Amino acid sequence: MSLFKTQTEHARSRAALGAVTLTACMALLQGCNVGPRYTAPVTPAPPTFKEAAPQQSSDGTTWVPANPQDATLRGNWWELYQEPELNALEEKLNTSNQNIAQSFQNFMAARAQVKQARASYFPTVSVGPSYTRGRTSGTEGAQVAGSNLNSNDFSLPFDVSWEPDVWGRIRNTVREYANAAQVSAADLANVRLSQQANLAEYYFELRGQDALIGLYEKTVVAYRENLRLTQVRSRTGVDTEQAVAQAELSLKTAIAAETNLRISRAQYEHAIALLTGQAASSFSMPVHPLTTAVPAIPIGVPSQILQRRPDIAAAERSMAQANALIGVETAAYYPSFSIGGSIGLESSKLTNLFTWPSRFFSVGPSASETLFDGGLRRGLLDQYKAQYEANAAAYREAVLTAFQQTEDYLAAERLLGQQRREQQEAIAAAQRYYDLSNIRYKTGVDTYLNVFTAETSLLSNQQTAISLYVQQMTSTVQLIQAVGGGWDTSQLPTEKSVAGR
C-alpha cells in the first residue's frame, strides 16, 4: 500500500513539474506582440501665421500686429483681460459647471475600463464549497444488517485559471482602453476650454448690452428734450405738427429699442448662470458698461498649435487607440493558451475535511485555435484598419481646422481694430452733421427733418461702434480658444497614470 502511494505521489509530482515547465515557457513567450507598432503622426506646419505678419492698411501704412510671437498662454488665460468679475465667474465655472462635471465622470469611467482590461493579466481564483448527501439503492434482502446506504460528501475546492498573454492580445487591449481614457481626458480639457470661452464671450456680450442700454438711455433723454423743444416751437407757430410727429417718432423708437436690448441682456445673464452652475432665478449681475482694453494675445508659432489644442490631442490618441485595436484582432489569428488548476479538500466526514489525506489537486494547460470562421477575423481586421485610416484623416482635418481658425481670428482681430478706428471717424462726422443740422433747425434755416436724419445717423454709428467693440473682444476670446488656451499635451495623463499604475 505504501509503495503504491509513493508511486502515485511521484506521478503527481512529475505532472506538476511538467505543468510548471509549460507555464514558464508560455510566460517567456509573453514578450511577443503581433500588433503593428504605433508611431505618432508627423504633420508639417507653416513657419508663421500669415495673418500675424505685417499688413498694409487701407491708408497705405504698414500695420504690425501686437501679438508676441515668442510667448504662449499660461494658466488662467482670462486674467489677460484684467476683469476681476470675469475672473471670479471663471473660477466658479471651473468648480460648478455641469458639462465639465459630466466630462470628468466620463473620464473616470474610461479609467475604470483600463483597470478592467488590466485584470486579464492575472489569474482568476474562485472557491465553491459544497455539501452533498445521497442514498444508494439496494435490492430487497441484499442489504446487510446494520449497513448504511446514505453517503455524505464535503468539498472545498479552489479553482485557478490563467491565460498568458502570449501574442500581446491583453497588452493591446489594455493599451486600447488606456488610449481611450487619454481621448476622454483630452475631451475633458476641450469641454473645459469651450465652457470657459463661452463664459468670457457671454460676459463681453452682456457688457456690450450694458453699453448699448447706456447709449439709448442718453439718447432717450436727448430725444425727449428735442420733442419738448419742437412742441414749444409748434405752439408758437415757428414749427409744424409734422416736426412734432418726427421728434415723437424718434423718441418712441429709441424707447422701444432700449427695451429690446434688456431682453438680450437678461438672456446673457441667464446663460452665465447656467455656465457657472447656478439657478438663473437667483443669479444677477450689476450693470457695468464695457470698458475692457483689448489685450495682446500671445499666439506662438503654428507648430506649437499641435501641442496646445486638446481636440488635436484627442484625435491623435484616437489613432493610437485604433492601432492597438488592430493588434488585438491580429492576435486572434494565433492559438490561445490557458492554464487551469484546482486544489482543495474533500471528505465524507466534516471532521476529516481539514486533514492531510483529504487534499486533492489537478493542473493542466490547454490550447485552442480557430480553424475556420468564414472570414470573420479578416473582416474585423479590415474594419479596424479602415477605422485607423479614418482616424488619421480626422487628425489631419483637426490640424488644418486649427490653422484655419487661428488665421480667421487673427484676421478678425486685426481688421476689427482697423474698422473700430475708422468707425470713430464716422462717429465724429455724424456728430458734426447732427450739430450743424441742430443749429440750422434752431435758427430756422432748416426743418426738423434734417435733424431727424442726422440724429438717426449718429445713433446708428454709435451703436455700430459698440457692436464692433464687443465683436473684437469676443474675437480675442475665440483666438485664445483657437490656440488652445493655457493647455498643452504635458497635461495629458500618460498611459500608466490612467491605468492607475
| Residue 272 pLDDT > 80 | yes
Give the CB-side neighbour count of residue 143, counting CA atoms within 13 A: 11
| Residue 59 pLDDT > 80 | no
Q: Residue 347: its pLDDT value, please?
A: 77
Out of 33-37, 93-97, 188-192, 200-204, least confident range? 33-37
Q: Is residue 156 very low, low, confident or very high in pLDDT (cuts 50, 70, 90)?
A: confident
Q: Residue 316: its pLDDT value, please?
A: 96
| Residue 84 pLDDT > 90 | yes
pLDDT by residue (tens digit) across 107-129? Answer: 999 999 999 999 988 888 888 88
**What 8-state DSSP symbol labels residue 341?**
E
What average pLDDT does range 161-170 have in this prediction? Answer: 87
pLDDT by residue (tens digit) across 278-290? Answer: 999 999 999 998 9
Query: How much of the chain exceeds pLDDT 90, in percent?
Result: 57
Cell of 289: 458698461
Q: Which residues contact 174 (CB under 8 A, 6 or more apart)?
A: 114, 117, 118, 120, 121, 499
Closest CA to 183 of 122, 107, 251, 258: 107
Q: Which of 81-90, 140-149, 344-353, 492-501 has the highest mean pLDDT?
A: 81-90
SS (H, E, C) 149-195: CEEEEEEEEEEEEECCCCCCHHHHHHHHHHHHHHHHHHHHHHHHHHH
Q: Is residue 310 very low, low, confident or very high in pLDDT (cuts 50, 70, 90)?
A: very high
| Residue 449 pLDDT > 50 | yes
| Greater model confidence, 163 or 427 | 427
Give the CB-side neighbour count of residue 252, counting CA atoms within 13 A: 6
SS (H, E, C) 187-244: HHHHHHHHHHHHHHHHHHHHHHHHHHHHHHHHHHHHHHHHHHHHHHHHHCCCCCHHHH
**Residues 272, 274: Cα–Cα separation, whole Å:** 5
Q: Residue 3: its pLDDT value, please?
A: 42
Q: Are 187 and 106 in contact (CB under 8 A)?
A: yes
pLDDT by residue (tens digit) across 196-252? Answer: 999 999 999 999 999 999 999 999 999 999 999 999 988 888 888 999 999 999 999
| Residue 141 pLDDT > 50 | no
What average pLDDT does range 264-269 have in this prediction? Answer: 97
Out of 131-145, 324-338, 430-444, least confident range? 131-145
Name the pTM for this structure: 0.84
Q: Are 480 and 81 in contact (CB under 8 A)?
A: no
| Residue 21 pLDDT > 60 | no
Scored b (16 or more CB within 10 A) or e, 324-346 reads bbbbbbbbbeeebbebbbbebbe
**Residues 99, 475: Cα–Cα separation, whole Å:** 23
Instruction: Tell me which residue has cell 492698411.
Output: 57
Q: Is residue 266 very low, low, confident or very high in pLDDT (cuts 50, 70, 90)?
A: very high
pLDDT by residue (tens digit) across 328-358? Answer: 999 888 888 888 888 878 777 777 777 777 7
Q: Residue 35: its pLDDT value, please?
A: 80
| Residue 52 pLDDT > 60 | yes
Query: Which bin fits 469, alpha (ψ -120 to 50), beta or left (φ > 0)?
Result: alpha
Q: Are 213 and 265 in contact (CB under 8 A)?
A: yes
| Residue 69 pLDDT > 60 | no
| Residue 146 pLDDT > 70 | no
**Residues 235, 472: Cα–Cα separation, whole Å:** 48
**Residues 260, 164: Cα–Cα separation, whole Å:** 70
Out of 5-9, 206-210, 272-276, 383-387, least confident range? 5-9
Q: Are 384 and 173 in contact (CB under 8 A)?
A: no
What average pLDDT does range 13-35 have in this prediction? Answer: 58
**Residues 112, 79: Cα–Cα separation, whole Å:** 35
Q: Are 438 and 452 in contact (CB under 8 A)?
A: no
Q: Residue 2: its pLDDT value, please?
A: 44
Look up the CATH number of domain 32-96+166-334+376-498: 1.20.1600.10
